[in-house]
A and B are shown apart, each in its own frame.
Chain A
Amino acid sequence: MLFFDLCIQGVIQGAIYALIALGLTLVYGLLRILHVAHAALFTLGGYIGVIVTNGSGSFLLALFTSMLIVAVVGMSSYTIIYKPLLNRAPLISLIASIGIFIASEELFRIFFGAYGLSYINPPLQGQIEILSGVSLSHARILVVVLAIGLLSGVGWLAINTRVGIAARATVIDPQMAASSGINVEIIRYGSFFIGSAFAGAAGVMVSLLNNLVEPTMGAVPSYKALAIIVLGGLGNVRGALVASLALGIIESFGTIYVGHLLDRDSIAFAFLIMVLMVRPQGLLARG
């Protein structure tokens, strides 16, 4: 029973990682930029989720509002930060991104206070027994359902629609895509929109699981999501999703069985190092 329980906890964590990592890997695929400030969007999502839920009483409204606002903020981060720096060395965008991320933590603190915010009446706290002895709160189940729903929606778009095909073409060869009449800018904005919205959703879900959003809640995702997209093969969406799930499960078991030696992050990075020693190109990238 413990084994199933730990697997389930791993899948839940993996689902959150996947929602965060998708945007990061999309941006890397299109622009070759490590979008560290993505984690600030995750935090923003959490704050909007708590504030709107507490104000309106509707968690669903909060989830949609959060995804929408975060998506718009994500798109403007492209316009304001990355677009002017596109012709510079990638390092410059990276430094700009880290700067924005650090500043965001203090901005959250200044605007919303150092103590963080919590739900006054946390929604979705009911329990469902999924196996005998293993029961999960509705919030935990929603995390997984939401991740599967959103990610397969994007997968369907990418495979079955012209926009999706155009997006994939742009990732493979932006110049060729542009000369075939694809509007590369729209693809970029679209990727920021979707990736940021998902990070917002992840932020709302994490705020619900912990009943706490705090200025520094993006700190761990800021580097763990980088590890995930490296693990998956940089820019490879499917790889990032597999890596998210793998990492969630490894961390879940690792916390219990080697937790007294290595903390959660160390376990994740030890796994990353081991995989990269065998497959330097990442889990799913073509070698």
Chain B
Amino acid sequence: MSTAAPNVIEERESSILVKGRQRKSHLKCDADSIAGCVSQRACVYCGARVVLNPVTDAIHLVHGPIGCASYTWDIRGSLSSGSELYRNSFSTDLKENDIIFGGEKKLARAIDELVEKYKAPVVFVYATCVVGVIGDDLEAVCKKAAQKHGIQVIPVQSSGFIGNKSAGYQAACDALLRLIEPRSAACPPGNKHEVKSINYLGDFNLAGEAWIITEYLRQIGVEVNTVFTGDSKCSNLQKAPEASLNIIQCAGSMFYLAQQLEELYGIPYMRVSFLGLEDTSASLRSIAAFFKDLQMKRLAEELIQRETAAVKSQMEGYREKLKHKKAAIYVGGGFKAISLIKQFRELGIDVVMVGTQTGREEDYQTLHDIADDGTVILDDANPSELERFMTEKGAHLLVGGVKERPLAYKLGVAFIDHNHDRKHPLSGYVGAVNFAREVHATVCSPVWKYARGTGGGNYAGLPQC
């Protein structure tokens, strides 16, 4: 018998579960969205673009009609310590004639004109939907341009319809592997543990987050060889094979790259998370353990103690104000969702709903394991579902991305952007405090008093913040 409410589509039932209420502990995920749904998901191009865009000194050329370039113009909030070239928007702006006769010539001209203007070491050429249909030979055009200009011109196979955002992550990783490739002969895989140098995968330096983590690692004696891809430059990325370890923050986008780097260059990888105090400390410890270096272990313990002590009173202050509030989570990847649950626990906040756009089966298994009984877990949710479960569960706060913000606000629910639009670094110890401050700023805003007056909000009966 169906237990779903009328506004839950039948096909969607297998993508939603309530912990402790149902016997099943796994849910349908990683599947295509249903036609006619208000999905919060994006496309292959989107996935590829968000991964590659932080490469600061690259020309990011979007091959297609104008829209795809317009919507991704400088929206990521990835900071650069050098070039600002990546913040421009380059498009071949395909017109009807190009669709009929092919866009290859225009693409070649665009590459020529841009390379002449900007002298960049690499051009990424993104395929959009229509390019996949009209059959432009991106490989051939890029190869020719690369020879002509003596730089790398790398096609990114990101036509929107060939899969979902995850396929775009993989297309981006393939492009990165091609960028790295030419130098592979120079650094044969060997015993790299002697060099305490790592690649930091899956941090896009939003609000400067990668800089915080790089500094922690420096303090315990680990050098960050390159970040994939926050504040990265072509020349740094090409040195990736020289590292002795890859650590992965955003596994959704970078797990594939880590596997490839291990296979091709013998670099082992480990998952880390620098979201929240608990995960940050655990991650630093595992990195130190990997290098089997007593000095590093000691430095790590000292750093953990020092940084934890530095934020302790602030965290306790926020915890006092925020405990017993209820949070809902709807983010892109599974690993971020897992970290957020732990981070909310540190603040005494109960998570009542958790969902992702592209989480994988093992992510959902972990979410199920760590969630409290009664927590709603869902994949590829639509706004009606988010509304229903937030209202039913009495959430005070939603963590999500750009499309979820006004939805939460309309319901009188506070909101935190844990995506492109974040304004403060949320990583590491300092990030944990920023996160707590952001939660406090929104949950305890005086605006909800007025929102309550119009019927919204879930604050009745709660102690004042």
Q: Do A and B bind each other?
A: no
